[in-house]
Homo-oligomer: A and B are copies of this chain.
Amino acid sequence: MASPADSETWMTLVVQPNDTNPLGTLHGGRLMYWMDECSAIAATKHSRAVVVTVSVDGVSFKHAIELGSVVTIRARVTRTFRTSMEVFVEVWSEHIPRNLRMKCNEAYYTFVALDEAKRPLPVPDLLPTTAEEQRLYDGALRRRQVRLILAGKMKAEDANELKALFLPENNTAEP
């Protein structure tokens, strides 16, 4: 059974003038385009199938990324649900000559695998092997319940994992 490391995908790019916004830093929409591409490759590696994006959550812009920076993107599958896969994407920027490097962005992308007739295709299970992989695996269920509740597709009372976060005995749990 494949682990998250088997789908890990790295992308490295330089921020060109073409990629900037009027403030002269990396355009947020351009970064989301790259993150989509990098995470789609990770999902393709895990499923060995064509995949399409079904949702994106938790995209969080921490720092602006300057023109000329080297952008490194890492994506890996965190959990699978029958025909869908959640992928965690992280982004760092580096200004190599100035020796600066920082975490700039992260997000969760969800993909569905498709067969040749473009119908959803069951995907292989995933086996987390490190503590961080296990933490991401556990969190994926809660994030999925949030998505379903906010989209009106699940009742709050049925979201057991999420509900547990709000019970007195659980409020020390890591989200």
Contact = CB atoms under 8 A, between A and B. Distances in A.
Interface in A29-49: 29-30, 32-38, 40-41, 44-45, 48-49
A54 B104 CA distance: 11
A11 interface: yes
Nearest to A54: B61
A165 interface: yes
A128 to B, nearest CB: 19
A57 B106 CA distance: 12
A103 interface: no
Interface of A: 9-24, 27-30, 32-38, 40-41, 44-45, 48-50, 52-61, 64, 67-68, 70, 96-97, 99, 107, 118, 139, 142-143, 146-147, 149-152, 155-157, 159, 162-163, 165-166, 168, 170-171, 173-175
B96 A44 contact: yes
